[in-house]
A and B are shown apart, each in its own frame.
Chain A
Amino acid sequence: MNSSPSDFPSQLITLLAAGMLVIQLLMAVQRMLLTSIRLFALQSLLFAAIATVIAYCHNAPEVYWVVGLTLAGKVCFLPWLLNRQVRRIGIVQEIAPLLNPSASMLLCGAFTVVGYLVARPFTSLERLGNNTLAVAIALLLTGFFLMLNRRKAISQVLALLTVENGAMLAAVALTTYGMPLVVEVSMFFDILVAVMVLGILVYRIRESFASMDLSELKLLKG
């Protein structure tokens, strides 16, 4: 049950996790909203793959629930919802992020290193994969940065979702089976509702500001 980090499934998990990180970095430089949404879907798909590997190799059938929920919610439904929103609003591109892509990329690289450093003392606690926790923390930090860097509401929502992906990854990495089922299900429910609420807000902001650009949101100060 307790696997050493060098066997095949473990390596596969680490690889998939690194893939998630690569996608996150690509999102940091991607300006097209639709492509970003697709990248998010791909990242979630990788997470589902990780969960599948765990469920299969560790005989943990309840993890299939997580796989199913991820596939249904994060790979299909949310991207579809966001896509629809982007089309309805008609804004497809992030015009001017605060930092240019090279700088943001460098910063994200630095965040990844920070993630490794933070996770370093805890590698012995990881049950699966090698440094999957580091990837999770890197996802968290870069997600935060993405959120600060972006001005379009939908990009911020996407950044939030990637942070959530990081949290799921941490749960899987540290505990093998993820969180108890009731927690997992409620997490998914929360994410779905959150995206819907954010969608409503985006729509209203769009209506009253005539733009989705959040840099216009600076009426409140002090």
Chain B
Amino acid sequence: MMTFVATVAQALLLLALAPLLTGCIRNWKAKLQNRRGPRVWQPYLDLLKFLRKDMVISEHASWIFSAMPYVLFTSTLLAGLMVPLVTVAAPLSLFGGALAFVGLLALGRFFLALGGLDTASAFGGMGSSREMTLAAIAEPALMLAVFTVAIQAGSTNLSRVLQAAQGPGWTLLNPAYALAFAALFIVLLAETGRIPIDNPATHLELTMIHEAMLLEYSGRYLALIEWSASIKQLVLMALLANIFFPAGIATEMTPGRVGFSLIVFLGKLLVLAGAVVLVETTNAKLRLFRVPDLLGVAFILAALALLSTFLFQ
């Protein structure tokens, strides 16, 4: 019963919070660029609008085209349920913990790419191929970075990792963490399509990656895809915030602790979002052919982080 409540609560939290985070980032970015920018809750309105609209579906589309948004949405949400947000214990713990987490994200990405390919439009295929190219480097980096922390805790279960982080003998200021954090941050930028890698605000065929895959989608499907993109962003940020800065997270389920933890969690998220905004406004988008270089950096950092957990003993 308790786990059921927790599951529902966390799912609701994810669903509700994700568009807000996206809105915050957009709004702040505009402010930093001396624009007024959309309101913070604009993404909610967008979602509502999309949900109300009719869909235009290509006559060449197969079942994959219609299945993709649901698969993506479900897998992202499941992955989100495996990450501890406000309490140490995540509501869902599938086999393998972190492995399953990365696997679920990969499943979503796989279907996203298939959906892009399905209608055989030129842009969709281009976007899919780009997405997979980058994912081939970004995913190992993500795995290695998470493993760095997992090794310290002795378990790939993310809840256990956080539990270990609360216990004694946990070296907070571990250089391996610094390396892993840097790697994960770059991966975060790549996975959420942020500026040095992808520009979420344009539809320019030379550069776009994520948007290119969605060009054929409209209405409810588009709403689901956008929503799951927001959720993915929130989940990855939560992962970063909680694993590397575990302070303040609730270890037991008393309302006071959970409330406090929620506030701390929101604070951490906002700080991280601020960092992302800063990176976005101070950097120019990389040429597509330079993007693998940046992700290569992330990969090496993560690999070094993993190595240094052994070497630093």
- Taking Cβ atoms with an 8 Å cutoff, the residues of A that contact B are 6, 8, 11-12, 14-15, 17-19, 21-22, 25-26, 29, 100-102, 105-106, 108-109, 112-113, 116, 120, 130-131, 134-135
Bound-complex Cα distance A120 to B297 (A):
25
Considering the complex, give the chain B residue whose CB is closest to the CB of A28. Answer: B297
- Does B296 lie within 8 Å of A101, measured CB to CB? yes
- Does A112 lie within 8 Å of B173, measured CB to CB? no
- Does A116 lie within 8 Å of B307, measured CB to CB? yes
Bound-complex Cα distance A134 to B304 (A):
13
- Of the candidates A100, A109, A130, the one whose C-beta lies within 8 Å of that of B300 is A109
- Does B312 lie within 8 Å of A131, measured CB to CB? yes
Bound-complex Cα distance A19 to B296 (A):
18
Bound-complex Cα distance A19 to B176 (A):
10
- The residues of B that contact A8 with a CB separation of less than 8 Å are 173
- Does B173 lie within 8 Å of A14, measured CB to CB? yes
Bound-complex Cα distance A134 to B175 (A):
12
- Does B292 lie within 8 Å of A102, measured CB to CB? yes
- Does A22 lie within 8 Å of B311, measured CB to CB? no
Bound-complex Cα distance A102 to B292 (A):
8
- Does A26 lie within 8 Å of B297, measured CB to CB? yes
- Of the candidates B179, B296, B308, the one whose C-beta lies within 8 Å of that of A105 is B296
- Does B304 lie within 8 Å of A15, measured CB to CB? no
Bound-complex Cα distance A11 to B172 (A):
8
Chain B nearest CB from A164 CB (Å) reads 21
- Does A131 lie within 8 Å of B311, measured CB to CB? yes
- Of the candidates B171, B297, B311, the one whose C-beta lies within 8 Å of that of A6 is B171
- Of the candidates B296, B303, B304, the one whose C-beta lies within 8 Å of that of A102 is B296
- Of the candidates B171, B300, B308, the one whose C-beta lies within 8 Å of that of A108 is B300
With an 8 A cutoff between CB atoms, is B293 at the interface?
yes
Q: A29-B293, A116-B308 are in contact. Are A109 and B173 (CB under 8 A)?
A: no
Q: A22-B182, A120-B311, A131-B311 are in contact. Are A105 and B175 (CB under 8 A)?
A: no
With an 8 A cutoff between CB atoms, is B301 at the interface?
yes
Chain B nearest CB from A27 CB (Å) reads 11
- Does A22 lie within 8 Å of B178, measured CB to CB? yes
Number of interface residues of B (CB under 8 A): 24
- Does B175 lie within 8 Å of A15, measured CB to CB? yes
With an 8 A cutoff between CB atoms, is B174 at the interface?
yes
- Taking Cβ atoms with an 8 Å cutoff, the residues of B that contact A are 171-179, 182, 290, 292-294, 296-297, 300-301, 303-304, 307-308, 311-312
- Does A112 lie within 8 Å of B171, measured CB to CB? no
- Does A14 lie within 8 Å of B307, measured CB to CB? no
- Does B173 lie within 8 Å of A15, measured CB to CB? yes
- Does A15 lie within 8 Å of B178, measured CB to CB? yes
Chain A nearest CB from B202 CB (Å) reads 23
- The residues of B that contact A106 with a CB separation of less than 8 Å are 296, 300
- The residues of A that contact B293 with a CB separation of less than 8 Å are 29, 100-102, 105
Q: A19-B178, A130-B312 are in contact. Are A105 and B297 (CB under 8 A)?
A: yes
Considering the complex, give the chain A residue whose CB is closest to the CB of B313. Answer: A130
Q: A6-B171, A12-B173, A100-B293 are in contact. Are A18 and B300 (CB under 8 A)?
A: no
Query: Could you say which of B171, B175, B312 has the most chain A C-beta atoms within 10 Å of its C-beta?
Result: B175
- Does A112 lie within 8 Å of B175, measured CB to CB? no
Considering the complex, give the chain B residue whose CB is closest to the CB of A134. Answer: B311
Considering the complex, give the chain A residue whose CB is closest to the CB of B293. Answer: A101
Q: A6-B171, A130-B312, A131-B312 are in contact. Are A18 and B179 (CB under 8 A)?
A: yes
- Does A18 lie within 8 Å of B178, measured CB to CB? yes
Chain A nearest CB from B180 CB (Å) reads 10
3 smallest beta-carbon distances between A and B, as pairs = A18-B175, A11-B173, A101-B293
- Does B171 lie within 8 Å of A11, measured CB to CB? yes
- Does B301 lie within 8 Å of A14, measured CB to CB? no
- Does A17 lie within 8 Å of B292, measured CB to CB? no
Q: List 20 A-B contacts (CB under 8 A).
A: A11-B173, A14-B175, A18-B178, A21-B175, A21-B304, A25-B297, A25-B301, A25-B304, A29-B293, A29-B294, A101-B293, A102-B293, A109-B300, A109-B303, A112-B304, A113-B307, A116-B307, A116-B308, A130-B312, A131-B175
- The residues of B that contact A11 with a CB separation of less than 8 Å are 171-174
Bound-complex Cα distance A11 to B171 (A):
8
Chain A nearest CB from B183 CB (Å) reads 9
